[in-house]
Amino acid sequence: MRLGYGTNGFANHRLDDALAIIADLGYTSVALTLDHQHLDPYAADLAAQVAAVGRRLAELDLRLVIETGARYLLDPRHKHQPTLLSDDRGPRVDFLRRALRIAADLGADCVSFWSGVTPAGLAPDEAWRRLRAGVAEVLPLAGELGMPLGLEPEPGMLVERLGDALRLRAELGDPAQLGITLDVGHCVAIEPDGVAGCLRQAAGLLVNVQLDDMVTGVHEHLEFGTGELDLPACLATLAEIGYTGVAAVELPRHSHAAPEVARSSFEALQAALPWTVRAEAAIRREPTAIGELFPAAGREVGRRPLDPEGDPAGLIAGTEDDRARSRLVAVLVEAAPDQAAAELAELYRYGDDAERRGVLRGLSVLTDPSEAVVEAGRALVQDALRANDTRLVAAAMGPFAGAWLDQHAWRHGVLKCLFTGVPLAAVAALDERRDAELIRMVAGLAEERAAAGRTVPDDAIALLQKENA
């Protein structure tokens, strides 16, 4: 996760100055609210401004999300108007499209938006219909640009809670480019499931997170520690769900004291950060730091299985330390693409059993590994498959092996799982990759066991039955 600060909390600063202050304090991302004084999307020289902001963000190494909640940008007389619920939503749709183009030019993570307050006298059904139609008008451009939209539930608006946002999304056919933005303060104020519940529910759809404190029932953005938010628990949940995007402080009413509030907020965040997130930041700063952080993961985050009932040995879903180490591997590969393959081999070579598992499970969370990483990873998987440690064998047969291990070695890996009692649920891509040769080998194992009067593993029987069905 990349901690950031929202520029709507720096309304009295030039954008350049605000970005510098935010970066200097140690934040690594920014939530940029497009506004009349901050990258006005209607400015005549917009292209030049976008280019300049892009250079500034690159200089300061800040990651970005675009926010569209400016108060008087479209209508100087009426706050937040017009919205997607207005009689004429045209200007709002146009604005969101402009925001998407700017976001794409700047390489932002997403564009966040809200639904708007239902206009007085408008029937709820009609408001919902307008919202759905308005979002549908913006989605195609989001798809075309590959720039996700993040729908943010906002107290008092038509989409007020996460449940509303998910319903809208479902009605639109769960479009991939429509994600969710969550403000954790809002969750404290009005969400029945609270912060952790909402974050978990939104996990796979989360494209942007806003951080602030709040008290139950009151929509007022507060500094950390002055409301009811459990900040350490909130950050721990974000780490637990594997959120890697922007999490920016949202204090739009604190611009009068922006530099001081941003500083104290950063301190509060640092004090509340889970170990994994601090370790990730350290690896981003200095990739070799992983050598001493990787072994410490079990002491810092625990070693319990992630699914204690269904998978008490952590063979399928892994353990808490597996999950933390996977994150560190992902960050290493991102931060040091050229050194990653060599470092992964060293982590494995010098690792104890838990660390080796962590390397193998880390390989499996990489989305697009380089050739060097694949080559190094394949060698590690093959080493692990020579071992008799069932947790290592299980970790070796995850999605990385499913994608990259050659068919011969992969079949032998599956057989080894059956042989050593690793459930085949731990084997990735089993249905895609199983072939006649594997079935022959499994049938042989079953016959051999039966001939010796020993039990045939249930998973072997199930696999043979599936093949014969």
Partner 1 sequence: MAIFDPHIHMTSRTTDDYESMYAAGVRALVEPAFWLGQPRTNVGSFTDYFDGLIGWERFRAAQFGIRHHCTLALNPKEANDPRCVEVLDVLPRYLAKDGVVAVGEIGYDSMTPAEDDAFARQLELAIRHRLPALVHTPHRDKLAGTRRTLDVVAESGIAPGLVAVDHLNELTVGPVAESGCWMGFSIYPDTKMDPDRMVAILQEHGTERMLVNSAADWGRSDPLNTYRTGQAMLAAGFTDQDVEQVLWHNPVAFYGQSGRLVLDELPGFTASAETFAGNSVLRGGRA
Residues lying near partner 1 in the complex (CB under 8 A) are found at 291-296, 298-299, 303, 313, 346, 350, 352-354, 387-392, 420
Using CA atoms, how far apart are residues 292 and 288, in angstroms rounded to an integer?
A: 8
CB nearer to partner 1: pick between 61 and 292: 292
**Minimum CB–partner distance for residue 406 and partner 1 (Å):** 24
CB nearer to partner 1: pick between 288 and 455: 288
**What angle, 0 to 180 degrees and rounded to 10, lies between the N-to-C axes of helices 353-363 and 320-335?**
60
CB nearer to partner 1: pick between 106 and 392: 392
**Minimum CB–partner distance for residue 298 and partner 1 (Å):** 6
Check residue 310 and report its DSSP letter: T
Residues with Cβ within 8 Å of residue 199, at least 6 apart in sequence:
182, 184, 187, 206, 209, 234, 237, 238, 241, 243
Using CA atoms, how far apart are residues 221 and 183, in angstroms rounded to an integer?
A: 10
CB nearer to partner 1: pick between 144 and 352: 352
**Minimum CB–partner distance for residue 337 and partner 1 (Å):** 22
Cβ atoms of 355 and 295 within 8 Å: the answer is yes
Give CA torsion, residues 173, 155, 145, 136, to 10 deg: 40
State how beta strands 218-222 and 213-215 pair.
antiparallel
**Minimum CB–partner distance for residue 309 and partner 1 (Å):** 19
Q: Tell me the β-bridge partners of 178.
A: 149
**Minimum CB–partner distance for residue 293 and partner 1 (Å):** 7
CB nearer to partner 1: pick between 7 and 319: 319
Using CA atoms, how far apart are residues 16 and 469, in angstroms rounded to an integer?
A: 66
CB nearer to partner 1: pick between 100 and 380: 380
**Minimum CB–partner distance for residue 295 and partner 1 (Å):** 4
Round the CA-based radius of gyration of the chain to a whole number and report it: 25
